[in-house]
Structure 1
Amino acid sequence: MHILRTDSSNTDFQTLVGFLDVTLADHNGDNHHFFDQFNTIDTIKNCIVISIDTVPAACGAFKELSSDTVEIKRMYTHPDFRKKGLASTIVKELENWAKELGFTKAVLETSVDLKNAISVYEKSGFYKIPNYGQYADIESSVCFEKIL
């Protein structure tokens, strides 16, 4: 396993996010446009790509939300590599990177239906909070937070 810290110009990150976008478009249906507007990757400075035997397997990123808070975004594990702990590894690496940069809190949003994602976040120490920002009135969203 190789863990790469990069930015959103990385082609492996872009490829994995392409798969993620297809998956989310199917999952979100008519609501996809609403969520998609908050998930552009043109200027993300902090991205992680995990490769297994040189094959891009999983990714994640964070964006600065405030001077002390990051928002974890674009988490995806290719189906061929699921159930191997890669998502948890990415979350931990993103947390470490954010702490190194002086951030003290991480938040994130996911779908109430994505039980596997929710499980990863809860096992990583995130706890449910009221939906924030653009997700405040979205019933299909659930938001989490963790003090780093």
Structure 2
Amino acid sequence: MQISIHAERPDTADAQALIAELDAELAPLYPPTSQHGYSIEQLIREKVDFFVVRVNGEAVGCGGVQFYADYGEVKRMYIRPMFRGMGLAQRLIEHLIAYAAAHQCRLLRLETGILQPAALRCYERAGFYRIGPFGNYPDDPLSLFYERPIGVQG
């Protein structure tokens, strides 16, 4: 099995399909007021560095990092259901951590929903711990907020 993670624009056909699947998975779980994920247009406008995970050439997951002055934020993290349990989410989050460190980022944060236990386990295994709301996020009872300090390469 050949696994690759490469930067890709979020408006490519593969990235659009992955983001649409993520949105379709989250829609029945959370009301619109609790869905905080960026649209494809927002990902581009906000200059999110976006990555696609491929297995044997097939796009199976995605995720990105948006950089702020004092932290980076993980955005639109997703692995297709049939590819879960293979360690791909962990590889992707490790890739995003290394990418952020290479860009002199010392802290990664993220927002996720309370109804995604596998995602919560993945983030916690990667060293993320719970914090309160950050940035422009409201204090939403359906959201959890995490951060993880990271070393800076160099």
TM-score by length of 1: 0.89
Percent identity between matched residues is 28
Structure 1 Cα separation of the partners of residues 117 and 34 of structure 2: 21
Name stretches of at least 5 consecutive residues in structure 1 with no aligned partner. Answer: none
Aligned to 1:70: 72
Aligned to 2:58: 55
> Are the aligned partners of 2:34 and 2:142 in contact in 1 as well (CA < 8 Å)?
no
Name stretches of at least 5 consecutive residues in structure 2 with no aligned partner. Answer: none
**Aligned residue pair count:** 144
Aligned to 2:102: 100
Name the structure with the higher helix share. Answer: 1
Q: Deviations over 1:85-123 (max 9, x none)?
A: 111111111111111111111100111121110000000
> Are the aligned partners of 1:68 and 1:102 in contact in 2 as well (CA < 8 Å)?
no
> Are the aligned partners of 2:7 and 2:49 in contact in 1 as well (CA < 8 Å)?
yes
Match of 2:143 among 137, 141, 144: 141
Letter in 2 for 1:54: G
Letter in 2 for 1:89: R
Secondary structure at the counterpart of residue 135 of structure 1: coil
Aligned to 2:23: 21
- Stretches of 4+ aligned residues off by more than 6 angstroms: none
Secondary structure at the counterpart of residue 27 of structure 1: coil
Cα RMSD of the aligned pairs, angstroms, is: 1.5
